[in-house]
Amino acid sequence: MTDSQIPAYQRPLSTEEVRQIDAYWRAANYLSVGQIYLLDNPLLRDPLTASHIKPRLLGHWGTTPGLNIIYAHLNRIIRQRDTNVMLVTGPATVAPGWWPIRTWKVATAASTPHIGQDLDGLRKLFRQFSFPGGIPSHTAPETPGSIHEGGELGYALAHAYGAALDNPDLVVACVIGDGEAETGPLAASWHSNKFVNPATDGAVLPILHLNGYKIANPTVLARVPKRISRRF
C-alpha cells in the first residue's frame, strides 16, 4: 500500500502539519497567559511595567498548555474525518485556555461582539478575564461551547456521558484532571460506559491530564510509576 492509499488519519503528521499545530499551540498559550497576567501592553511592544499587570491573578497556567494541545489535535481530527466532536474539560480554572482561541476565531459571536481581531480587541480580551464587568475565571454558562461548570471537580465524565447518550453521531472528548480523578464522583463515573448503547449513543473519549500540577500536593496517579499509569 502506497502512502497515497493510506487514510489521512492513519498517516504520520507531515512536517507542515506539525509546524501548523505548533504555531497554533504557541499562539493559544500566549493568549492564555496574557489573560491571566496582562491588563495592557498585550503584544509587549513596550517595556513591561507593574501598571500592565493585573493586581490580582486568577486562573492557573498549569493545566493550560495541555488543554491547548488537546484542542489543537481535536481540531485536526475534525478536519480529517469530519467528526462531530464536543469537548468537556474537568480540570479547575481552565477558562484561560477556553476563551482565547474561541473568542479570537469567532470575534463576532453574540457573547463577545466587542472583541475585534486587532490590537484593541486583544487588549480587551486580556483585560476582561476575571475582571469586574468581564468574564469569570472558570468556564460558565456564557463560555462558548461549554456544558460543564469549571471549578466544581468530579462531574466532567458524567456530563460527557450524558451528552453522548442518544447522540449516536457525537464524540465527546473529556479532559480529566489528575486531581479531579481522585474525587468520588469521578471515580464512580468510570462505570458510565456500561450504560452506552453503540447503536443509539455516541462515544466518550476520556483524556487523563496527568500533568502533576495539582495545587496542594502531588496526586496518586502522578506518584505511581509510568508503567502502571500507562495501563490506566
User: Which pLDDT does position 49 carry in this prediction?
Assistant: 96
pLDDT at 100: 62
pLDDT at position 102 is 61
Mean pLDDT score of the chain:
85
Give the residues of the chain that fall short of pLDDT 50.
107-108
pTM (predicted TM-score): 0.86
pLDDT at 210: 87
How far, in Å, CA of 5 to CA of 146, rounded? 37
**In this predicted structure, what is the pLDDT of residue 98?**
67
Question: In this structure, which long-range contacts are made by residues 119-124, counting pairs with CB atoms below 8 Å and at least 24 apart in sequence?
Answer: 119/42, 119/43, 122/31, 122/34, 122/42, 122/43, 123/40, 123/42
pLDDT computed for residue 2 by the predictor? 61
CATH architecture of the domain 3-229 equals 3-Layer(aba) Sandwich (3.40)
| Complete edge-to-edge strand list for the sheet that includes strand 170-177 | 84-89, 170-177, 203-209
List the Cα angle 211/25/90 in 5-degree steps: 40
pLDDT digits (tens, 9 = 90+) for 3-48: 666 776 678 889 999 999 999 999 999 998 998 899 999 999 999 9
196, HSE (Cβ side, Cα atoms, 13 Å): 22
Q: Which helix (H) or strand (E) covers residue 84, if one does? A: strand 84-89
For the chain, domain boundaries: 3-229
